[in-house]
Amino acid sequence: MIALSLAEIATITGGDLHPVDPDTADTVVNGVVDTDSRKMTHGGIFVAKPGAETDGHRFVGAAVENGAALALVEHLVDDAVSQIVVPDVVDALAALASAVVARVRAGGMLKIVGITGSNGKTTTKNFLARILESAGETVAPIDSYNNEVGAPVTMLRVTENTRFLVSEFGAAGPGSIARLAGLVEPDLAVILMVGMAHAGGFGGIKETAKAKAELITASRPGGVAVLNIDDPRVAAMRETAERRGMTVMGFGQGADADVRASDIHVEASGTRATITADGETQTLHLKVLGAHHVGNALAAITAAGVLGVPLADAIARLESVEVAERWRMQPMGNDSVRIINDAYNASPDSMAAALRTLAQITGPDERTVAVLGAMSELGENAGEEHDRIGLLAVRLNIRRIVVVGPEARRLYLAAVGEGSWDSEAVHLPDQDAAYEYLRTELREGDRVLVKSSNSVGLRHLGDRLGELFS
């Protein structure tokens, strides 16, 4: 974070400063800002966020021990540290992030990219950050820091030397993307896709599309909208962008895409595609598995091009990416038994894409095994979408379908109903049962996909299998 005095922070957040002693109001801090006391360093700012299971105010002392010089609190605590008391620490964190980014932006060098979409946000963020790092100091979220806390915490990592801020925006509900993106008004709005992920929380896919479009209306007028023109719902956002005086750059496989992919081939070693932009053509070989990641790469290449990075440089940087993110199409195991741990999250779209990738990378003498858990936050569509994935798995000729957990039982029943019986499909109650089954079932030549929503936790099963066959 840039250097600010305690008094300045109190003014920005609208809080009451209670310095640890009268002479510290002018103390300047520029350390880490976080809600996790364990992440504090010397001069850090600890945000004492109340939570459903615990209260951050209990950890002010631990934050001080780790170097915190200031605590943002909602009530005074009995610890020897300067404190700013505010009505809501999350609102204060947002105000601080907005003010800090505005000050850095006033220097004229900082460009801000906002990314949203039902799937692919984190991978695209990582791709774009890898490209931009070669062009200047880049700040991007750690993991999936894309909510009301993670997004401002990321924003507060900018310094006077930061050239690019890449922000990932998740949608907790209608208006949430507008609030988060509105803190910084991105210069570029990147919208990847509108799918069924979280549709249950929005009341349907039309409302999900409206939520994603909030990134455009919260971006700077006259900026650039980078849109996936292969997704009709995203392509339809062109009109909204143009009303705001924004330039629209389309990416996709269609002939009218400004940045286009063709000749896509998925192999066990990665994904190949031909990329065309501004009349120039280059071959891309991603080490990341899956045709769906070509779209994420296109989004990153398009955004980077707007920011002045040549196509050849962008592709070279992308080809250095080994894994998009932990638990996202992460290769594990060995050459005999290959595990693909893609269980950080799941939606109908990403589940289907992962199953197709499994089928594509498995040779004729190898066996496909899909270990599948429930997809969460689908609302009234949950049953139908689990049915659809069960049917798809059978139609892709997945040889072993291992369904884990009671919430995914309908997926198993759909697979059996489609013709996957005689132990081709099994339903197991939990991860431990699945591990014991797979420990003896898996054999040389197996290619194994582990996929579920984050809340189901199958990523840990994937780790166990990866270690077993390492």
H or E, element range at 89: helix 89-105
Q: Is 13 annotated as a binding residue?
A: no
Transcribe 196-259 into DSSP letters. Answer: STTHHHHTSHHHHHHHHHHHHHHSPTT-EEEEETTSHHHHTTHHHHHHTT-EEEEEESSTT-SE
- The count of other CB atoms within 10 Å of the CB of residue 255 is 7
SS (H, E, C) 134-183: CCCCEECCCCCCCCCCHHHHHHCCCCCCCCEEEEECCCCCCCHHHHHHHC
Which residues pair with residue 446 across a beta bridge? 337, 367
Q: Is 5 annotated as a binding residue?
A: no
DSSP 375: P
Q: Is 121 annotated as a binding residue?
A: yes
CB hemisphere CA count around 95 (13 angstroms): 17
CA distance 182 to 295: 26
Q: Is 363 annotated as a binding residue?
A: no
Could you tell me the sign of the dihedral formed by the alpha carbons of 404, 405, 410, 416, in that order? positive
3-state helix, strand, coil in the chain (%, to 5): 40, 25, 35
Burial class (CB in 10 A: 0-12, 13-18, 19+), 134: middle
Q: Is 208 annotated as a binding residue?
A: no
- Please report, for residues 37, 70, 107, 154, 191, the alpha-carbon distance to residue 60 in angstroms, rounded to integers and kept in the order given: 7, 9, 34, 21, 38
Here the tokens at position 199 are 């549709």
Start-to-end CA distance of the chain, whole Å, equals 41
Q: Is 118 annotated as a binding residue?
A: yes
Amino acid at 328: R
Provide the pairing of β-strand 337-341 with 446-451.
parallel
Binding site listing: 117-123
Binding site listing for ATP: 117-123
